[in-house]
Amino acid sequence: MEVRRDPRSFLFFIILLLLINSPEPQTTTYNARARYEELIEREYYQLDLLNRTSYGDFDAKKDKWLNVTGLRDEDGFAWELLDPVRQRAKEQSERVLGDRWRSIIDGTLEDEGHDIPVYKNLSGYVQGEWVRSPLSRVQHPSDMGNSSMIPDNPFAHLVDFDRNLTGMGGPLRLHFTELEDKMRRNNNKTVSEISAKVVIGDDDSFGGNWWEFVAHGVHFPNSGTTVLTTTSDRYAGIFALPHLQTSEHLYSSSQKFLNWTIHEAIQRQESRVFPLWNPWTSSAEGNNEGLFQGHHCEFVLYLQEFPSQHSVDMEWLEHELRYPTGAPVTQHAQFSMSMVGFSPDCGFVIESKGPPGFPPSEAIHLVGSKAEDYNNRARHSIIAFSVALAFQLWFLIKQMKETATPSMRSRVSFYTIAMMALGDGFTFLILIFMYLFLTTSQLALYSIAFMALFSVLTHLRFLMDIWSVQAAERARLDRQQASPAPAPTPQPAASNPTPASSDNDEGLPLPATAPRPRPPTPIIIAPDQDDPSEDMTPTPGNNTTTTTNTNPRAELGALYSRFCLLLIVVFFITIQFATARAAYRSIYFNTISFLYLSFWVPQIYRNVMRNCRKALRWDYVAGTSVVRLAPVAYFYLKEDNVLFAKTDWTGFAVLVGWVWVQLLALVSQEVLGPRFFVKEGWAPPAYDYHPILREDEEGATMPLHVTTSTSPGSPSTTALDASSSSAEESTKSSAESKNKGRKVFDCSICAQDIEVPVIPAGAEEASVAGMGSTSMILQRRQYMVTPCRHVFHTACLEGWMRYRLMCPNCRESLPPL
């Protein structure tokens, strides 16, 4: 037989070869190397100008300018705000340090031997809120650009200014990087280079816009003072940094230090094979801003660290945090800062929210943790999450052991388990890439990612078992939808008509109280519980529409492909929304959390459609709900979580309430019935195992194996033959029911009696006292009546039906529970 090959793969291979071998577009009008050499020459000129100037040579109020990009009069920057901003930064530092601030300004701090208890290494983060300062001024859009620089992007003038804070406040977070032995310091360790990633948002903007950028500067470890600035082609901030200092002593210290560090950076820039356009780029992604950059606001930040209020040796504490020896650290010095910042081109001034402008109960400036504390908390969070994953796997394995038979697997909803598997797969992908944020916990993250992957594989194995068992049910439903309803045939007249047979392969059994014909010959069903007619192949003379079943494993292969595709799509959509505006991001994550925590909804729907109960173990339902809510609770309720997610108590209350509603629905379906809240006609008809029996005149509709009755003279007292009537008379006194309207039957599984409520002959259900009460509903759950008119205890028959869907007495097939 000839094998036909799909030509699409060959066509795809040809297109791929053409794309690989296609020549790159040539740009003859742009000489990158010549411009790069011009950039290096300009940097050397700016560095030379930095060395030849002195403190006070740059003063916008006295019309003193520097021939540096952004510090010229024609650039149009709002440098008249520099002196008020520096004065505001001095006031904050003096309020934090007290009299020791004067020693910092004049440079006598080291001579006096003052030791300010502050961290000498600022690696870590602080976060809080910023407010707009009254020092701000409104810049006209035409004044916010740099007239001396033409942007490379011809459409840059059509784009709004990034980082332009137009509101009155918003969130602020700074991540400091001051790695030991990598960040350079001077010989006496009084000045150190530092960089910080700034994440700032504007609450008053549309949707809560926010930006990320990187600022570089100098840190004075002895006093905890830091000055940061951005650098771009429009603004040479790192070269002007000494002129932004608050005193002459800080100017001279930073000038000598930057002369060394900038010169080394330019030399490394020259020796690179590939051009590095800006070693001090403010882009958070680290790309070259010199190519196709748009407009954005520049920043200058003045930071002052708060000294510790405890008598702690800060050098010993930092060493113990970085290289723990097991020494008891009773009190950690709080890592907090105050901030004053302004944008020289956009003209706004911002301050950290806190005293004295705001009470301490409302805000206390910027508070955070050192990198060592943050990594320690991250490891603890990972361990807690691993414990939750372990419990989740434990509950799942117990449930898989419980549903080891086809009868039990047919009750479980495929989509409930699929939603859990999708959530675990998403967790696996997140843990794989989270090491970009938690670099020191990479090994722990990969270990927990392996546990999440194992959970995914376990769920997929469970899904394969469920899909294979439910394949016969799906085929039967397809046949019912495809085959037309048979036309009714006239019945010949007879003096004693017999009721029509209800044994239809495509329908559901009649209620237990309906009259039934003589039982057919019992048919032993195969152990796999499959219907033999489902495997029939059509014959030329047969008009049936049954066809051979498709391979369930082939269907599973397609389902696995869809599962992986959906997982990847959700992951990439989540990454996109992680960088969206605050309002959109909040809406997306609230929606995705709501959908993820709706995993019991498909099970509730399946219970209604199949009229079944007890599909899942209660410890699995409760335990899974708790362990899957725990990580969500951490990110919704913990203020200082490892991903810096904003807390939302209201949103979490809605999620918990939604999960509680699902659990309540499952419990109600267990106690009151799967369809107690569904109107008649909303779901397809299904057999009711808990009917109220109705007694007729001849006893033809009563179940078999009646032991005794409350009315001994009734014709329906016995349904057995004459040989068993004497035995029933002998046990009548011991098994007689004390209540009227009840009958006692034998359960052939446990060989015990069952007392069942019965409506007397000729009586209406509404006229019988107590038939519609809640207690009667609970009493009906104590017994079960099969379509073949056999009565059993509920626990007995449910335990039997966990393994075989056939009657224990007559071996007739039973509808699923």
Element (H, E) at 597: none
One DSSP character per residue, 420-449 reads HHHHHHHHHHHHHHGGGT-GGGHHHHHHHH
Length of the chain: 817
Question: What three-state secondary structure class fits 87?
Answer: helix
| Alpha helix segments (H runs only) across 579-702 | 582-596, 601-610, 618-637, 649-672
The Cα–Cα gap between 205 and 210 comes to 9
The Cα–Cα gap between 249 and 226 comes to 14
CB 750 within 8 A of CB 733: no
Go through 247-284 and write b for each residue having 16 or more CB atoms within 10 A of its CB, e for each that does not: bebbbebbbebbeebbeebbeebeeeeebbbbbbbbbe
Amino acid (1-letter code) at residue 541: G
Strand partners, 755: 744
The alpha carbon dihedral of 413, 414, 419, 421 has a sign of: positive
CB 165 within 8 A of CB 200: yes
Domain range summary for the chain, segments of one domain joined by + = 32-148+160-320+333-364, 376-472+552-672, 693-801
The Cα–Cα gap between 87 and 302 comes to 11
CB 87 within 8 A of CB 141: no
Question: What three-state secondary structure class fits 36?
Answer: helix
The pLDDT tens digits of the residues spanning 62-88 come to: 899 998 888 998 888 989 999 999 999
Bridge-based pairing state of the strands 366-370 and 335-342: antiparallel
Tokens describing residue 157: 């003038």
The pLDDT tens digits of the residues spanning 716-737 come to: 333 334 334 443 443 443 344 4
What's the confidence (pLDDT) of residue 182?
67
What's the confidence (pLDDT) of residue 776?
67
The Cα–Cα gap between 805 and 814 comes to 5
Question: What three-state secondary structure class fits 665?
Answer: helix
Full 3-state SS string of 113-153? CCCCCCCCCCCEEEEEEEEECCCCCCCCHHHCCCCCCCCCC
The Cα–Cα gap between 516 and 148 comes to 98
The Cα–Cα gap between 422 and 456 comes to 8
What is the CA angle 25-26-28, rounded to 5?
Answer: 155
Question: What three-state secondary structure class fits 195?
Answer: strand
CB 207 within 8 A of CB 581: yes
Strand partners, 742: 757
Go through 101-136 and write b for each residue having 16 or more CB atoms within 10 A of its CB, e for each that does not: bebbbeeebeeeeeebbbbbbbbbbbbbbbbbbebb
What's the confidence (pLDDT) of residue 16?
65
What is the CA angle 183-189-190, rounded to 5?
Answer: 105
What is the CA angle 512-515-519, rounded to 5?
Answer: 85
Amino acid (1-letter code) at residue 206: F
Amino acid (1-letter code) at residue 200: I
Bridge-based pairing state of the strands 742-747 and 752-759: antiparallel
Mean pLDDT by 10 residues, the chain (817 residues): 51 64 50 80 90 90 90 89 92 86 71 73 92 82 50 52 87 86 79 93 90 93 92 90 91 91 90 84 70 74 89 81 78 84 92 90 90 87 92 94 82 92 92 74 83 92 87 73 58 41 43 51 46 42 44 72 89 90 93 95 89 86 95 93 91 96 92 78 74 64 54 40 41 44 81 80 59 66 83 84 79 75
CB 545 within 8 A of CB 483: yes
Would you give the end-to-end CA distance of the chain in angstroms? 48
CB 792 within 8 A of CB 748: yes
Amino acid (1-letter code) at residue 521: T
The Cα–Cα gap between 524 and 362 comes to 76
The Cα–Cα gap between 601 and 674 comes to 13
What's the confidence (pLDDT) of residue 527?
45
The Cα–Cα gap between 313 and 302 comes to 26
> Cα Rg for the chain, rounded, in angstroms?
39
